[in-house]
Structure 1
Amino acid sequence: MTKLAIVYLSTQGSTQMMAEAIAEGVSQKHIEVRVNNFYEWDPKDAATYDGIAIGSSTFYYKMLEPIAKFLDALIAEGVEGKVGAAFGSYGWSGEAPVMIAEKMREAGMKVVDPVLRIQYVPDEKDLKECQRLGKDIAMKLKKLVKE
């Protein structure tokens, strides 16, 4: 079965809310999904999934350092050709998801656009956008499996 790993680091809980809503959208399209904060993941395990979505809040115009290190370790495992997605919450600048997506593209991943950035705590409309991203990821995964 096609599988998606959702890895996130959330400082205030907003990125976690996004991750869970993305997972809901993915599972509605019958794709197996595992969503956990990055402490629960080993990059080697995440690299075995067909798709990987990574979320980080933005801190001082960057992705959180533990996520940056996780992403580097994940890429070292070999992720070329896999589906990737980036998301995150922010207070005022919001660069982290864009940086994650850039690194994924450089590693040869097929990144789902647009990158999802939500300011502050996601409201109901924002969570629906997250579910939509989950569905888009699922459709891209299904297309990849057919190729």
Structure 2
Amino acid sequence: MPKLAIVYLSTQGNTQMMAEAIAEGARERHVEVKVNNFHEWDPAEIEDYDAIAVGSSTFYYTMLDPIAKFIDRIIEVGVDGKIGAAFGSYGWSGEAPVKIAEKLRSAGVEVIDPVLRIQYTPTEKDLFECNRLGKDLAERVKNR
């Protein structure tokens, strides 16, 4: 069974809500999913996954520094050729998911476009879009 890693850093719980909805969508398409805050991940685990979705809140026009460092560590382990997605919540500007996608692409990850950016607390419609992203990731990784 294909495996999807969902890693996030959520300052107010909004990006976490997105991560959970992405996971639900992927599970509905019969993909094994591990979803956790980046603190609970060992970057070496990424080798065991076919796809990765990374999420962060936007802070001062970029992703939060701890998630940037985590991405650097998984890139060192090796992510080339994996399927990926970037997501995150924001209050004003929303650049974090774009920066995450750029960083993953530069490491050889096939990132699904568009990145998923949600302002403030996700609505029911927003969570539906997150669920759809999970399904898209699942279908993409299963059709490799």
Shared fold, TM over 0.5 = yes
**RMSD, matched Cα:** 0.6
Residue 76 of structure 2 aligns with which residue?
Answer: 76
SS in 1 for 2:134: helix
After TM superposition, give the deviation of residue 48 of structure 1 in Å: 2.2
Question: Which structure 1 residue ranges, 4+ long, deviate > 3 Å from structure 2?
Answer: none
Where structure 2 has 5 or more consecutive residues not aligned to the other structure, the ranges are none
Residue 96 of structure 2 aligns with which residue?
Answer: 96
After TM superposition, give the deviation of residue 47 of structure 1 in Å: 3.3
1:67 equivalent to 2:67? Answer: yes
Q: Tell me the TM-score normalized by structure 2.
A: 0.98
After TM superposition, give the deviation of residue 143 of structure 1 in Å: 1.3
| CA–CA distance in structure 1, aligned partners of residues 54 and 134 of structure 2 | 12
Amino acid at match of 1:76: E
Q: Tell me the TM-score normalized by structure 1.
A: 0.96
Amino acid at match of 1:18: M
Identity of aligned residues (%): 72
Residue 23 of structure 1 aligns with which residue?
Answer: 23
1:143 equivalent to 2:117? Answer: no
| CA–CA distance in structure 1, aligned partners of residues 89 and 47 of structure 2 | 24
After TM superposition, give the deviation of residue 114 of structure 1 in Å: 1.0
Residue 2 of structure 2 aligns with which residue?
Answer: 2
| CA–CA distance in structure 1, aligned partners of residues 47 and 85 of structure 2 | 14
| CA–CA distance in structure 2, aligned partners of residues 83 and 126 of structure 1 | 22
Amino acid at match of 2:112: V
Q: Deviations over 1:84-126 (max 9, x none)?
A: 1100000000000000001111111111111000000001000
